[in-house]
Amino acid sequence: MRAMMERNRGKIPYIAVDGVYDDMAKDKIFWWTNGFYAGELWQFYYLTGDDSFREDAVSIEEMLDKAFADFQGLHHDVGFMWMLTSVADYKTTKDERSKVRALHAAALLAGRFNLRGEFLRSWNRDNSGWVIIDSMMNIPILYWASETVKDPRFSQIANAHADSVLEYLVRKDGSVGHIACFDPNTGEFQKLLAGQGYSADSSWSRGQAWAIYGFALAYRHTQKSEYLMAAKNIANYFIACVSRTDFLPLVDFRAPAYPKKWDMSAGTCAACGLMEIADHVDSCEKNLYRDSAVKMLRAIEHAYADWNPDTDGIIGYSSHSYHNSEETHVSMIYGDYFFIEALLRLKGDVLTIW
């Protein structure tokens, strides 16, 4: 991590191509992953106390001010972008400017709430009735805002959204859809759409991971038992699926058998979610979720970790989506972030950002 940091100062990485990080700061300042590298840096600052990690993380946070200023490219992923930058900074240093940035992001997310349908709209363009499962990992910034300024409006919106996601995107067997489409004027549910999975009826593995971790975090913030039950149901389905492939996750658990497409980022994110669940259940269940997380992390590390300090990226074989051939089986920044967070959870040295 130190070697990568020295090579990439001033960058906001997304994908490592041939062992070299790209830079989203140049022309994609709104990109949803732009907080993850800073999140890695904050985790290492918390672990080591080395100011070089903090300084680089702060520089990325400051770069994202341009996204606030330009505004129109921002959407529901402001949670990802500013939880891992400004919230992490504020929790670590109590910097007031970071607190303001994070509250600004929370207010922008709350402003996307559809009153009729009781959901936070995803993305932009003309899809004003769309909700994606990824949104469950963005609502923690609303819980944080409520706790920070003692204003229940933010958590009320987060809970209403989580309830809608639970009703329309989570299936009884623990699988989840990616996109729920609502009529934005009436709030009426219309249908599920395929999104980044194989089809509307399939089971995109990283969507499963977002749901596991997202509902587990919602439970942490609210103590609403239905959120923990949802997280466990989705987690049990995920564990059953990955156990059939030696704990290495496919891109979609219901895609055709061939060609085989993998997504290790789904595994690293799910591992964090499984360990979050383990924090809230009794000893028998705790062992199930924690042991399953460790099995995935070990399998992923053994098969696809790159520990060469001369190349960027740690975990390979992550994939953007089932039908995107360009970003398939590559090293992606969020796969690395969740791998790092998961290892630090195991060590007991993690910065609790979410």
Q: Which residues are designated catalytic?
A: 77, 134
Q: In what order do the strands lie in the sheet with 189-193?
A: 130-132, 179-182, 189-193
263-270-40-330 Cα dihedral, nearest 10 degrees? 0
Ligand-binding annotation for 130, yes or no, is no
| Annotated binding residue 51 | no
In whole angstroms, give the CA distance from residue 61 to residue 77. 15
Query: Is 206 labelled as part of a ligand binding site?
Result: yes
Cα separation, 84 vs 82, whole angstroms: 5
- Measured CA distances, 109 to 120, 144, 169 (Å): 8, 12, 20
Provide the β-strand partners of residue 181: 130, 191
Greatest C-alpha distance within the chain: 54
Q: Does 312 belong to an annotated binding site? A: no
The H or E element containing residue 209 is: helix 205-222
Which pair of structure tokens corresponds to residue 42? 């904050």
Q: Which residue bears the tokens 């003692």? A: 150
On whether 291 is known to bind a ligand per the annotation, the reply is no
Q: Which residues belong to the annotated binding site for substrate?
A: 77, 134, 206, 210, 321
Which residues carry a binding-site annotation?
A: 77, 134, 206, 210, 321
